[in-house]
Amino acid sequence: MLKKITTAASVIALCALTACGSGSGGAGNSTGSSGDTITMGFAQVGAESGWRTANTKSIQDEAKAAGIDLKFSDAQQKQENQIKAIRNYIQQKVDVIAFSPVVETGWDTVLLEAKRANIPVILTDRAIDSDDTSLYKTFLGSDFVEEGRKAGDWMVANATGPTNVVELQGTTGAAPAIDRKKGFEEKIASKPDIKIVASQTGDFTRSGGKQVMEAFLKSQPKIDVVYAHNDDMGLGAIEAIKAAGKVPGKDIKIITVDAVKDGMTALANGEINFIVECNPLLGKQLMELTKKVVKGEQVPPRVVTEEGTFTQEQAKAALPQRQY
């Protein structure tokens, strides 16, 4: 009881110091002369994949189009760098902080600091695992479990007899790695013939996918399918499979997630067999949500990106218009 009262008192004291309750409509923004230019601090994961490159471009282009002053940082896939960037944005008194959390856990402390500074936070692309939903206003991004399910559905529909799958996981602890694994496993659970015989992280990079696949090819006597949590790792696996004298897409089938241009090209060429789409073009929706949040308007707590899947024929048809 006593502890609760002390905590409440210190929150009030902190509010007095940091002017809680103000801060909408560009408060604390030193760039907008009339105070209505929104300043956004964006803490990006890194530049690990084709998906990420497209996502970064979308955010930068759409911030410009929306007249939002964007401060951008690249955390090189390290949580401590993202936390540092967020603290920096708090110090600079930006109007809004948006970020794509590299991993799910460990954000409560820094997000509480943002909350106490009265700076709203928007999660984009990846989610956090926290019981305190007051730490962010909304989460815009894909349903990664659903993506895993779509990959699993294809696997179940296309398995002919006993099937050994090796899994190239995304970054350990990242929402898309956890959820894409979960959704896939859920779907293949009904088919005891389909087994994940090895599963390891390739950190969402091409080189990571290649390295892990090389090791799998040495340690696993029979590999029928690669399930890669993104295109880049699948493309790395293709290199490893070719180097081992096997034919990707035929001797070993490949399922990936993302549908970026390089992945779609490999699918059209028959080296990848199926891709689950994950849309990186989140910039426009992010800027729209930002404007509402800064004005203090109500926004839905979760905005899910719409996406589909691609077979070889569909990839061939979609490639000429593919933007990323």
**Beta carbons of 111 and 47 less than 8 angstroms apart:** no
* Stretch near ligand GYE under the rule CB under 6 A, chosen from 49-57, 160-168, 296-304, 307-315: 49-57
Is residue 125 part of the contact set for ligand GYE (CB under 6 A)?
A: yes
Smallest distance, Å, CB 177 to ligand GYE? Answer: 9
Between β-strands 138-141 and 121-124, what pairing exists: parallel, antiparallel or unpaired? parallel
Is residue 224 part of the contact set for ligand GYE (CB under 6 A)?
A: no
Pick from 230, 273, 290, 312: which binds ligand GYE (CB under 6 A)?
A: 230
Is residue 257 part of the contact set for ligand GYE (CB under 6 A)?
A: yes
Is residue 48 part of the contact set for ligand GYE (CB under 6 A)?
A: yes
Smallest distance, Å, CB 112 to ligand GYE? Answer: 24
* Stretch near ligand GYE under the rule CB under 6 A, chosen from 19-27, 45-53, 284-292, 298-306: 45-53
Burial profile 200-225: b = 16 or more Cβ within 10 angstroms, e = fewer: ebbbbbbebbbbbbbebbeeeeebbb
Pick from 42, 43, 52, 150: which binds ligand GYE (CB under 6 A)?
A: 52
Is residue 183 part of the contact set for ligand GYE (CB under 6 A)?
A: no
Of residues 104 and 125, the one with the C-beta less far from ligand GYE:
125
Is residue 51 part of the contact set for ligand GYE (CB under 6 A)?
A: yes
Is residue 176 part of the contact set for ligand GYE (CB under 6 A)?
A: yes
* Stretch near ligand GYE under the rule CB under 6 A, chosen from 46-54, 108-116, 148-156, 300-308: 46-54
Smallest distance, Å, CB 29 to ligand GYE? Answer: 29
Is residue 278 part of the contact set for ligand GYE (CB under 6 A)?
A: yes
Residues within the interface to ligand GYE (CB under 6 A): 48-49, 51-52, 125-126, 176, 204, 230, 232, 257-258, 278
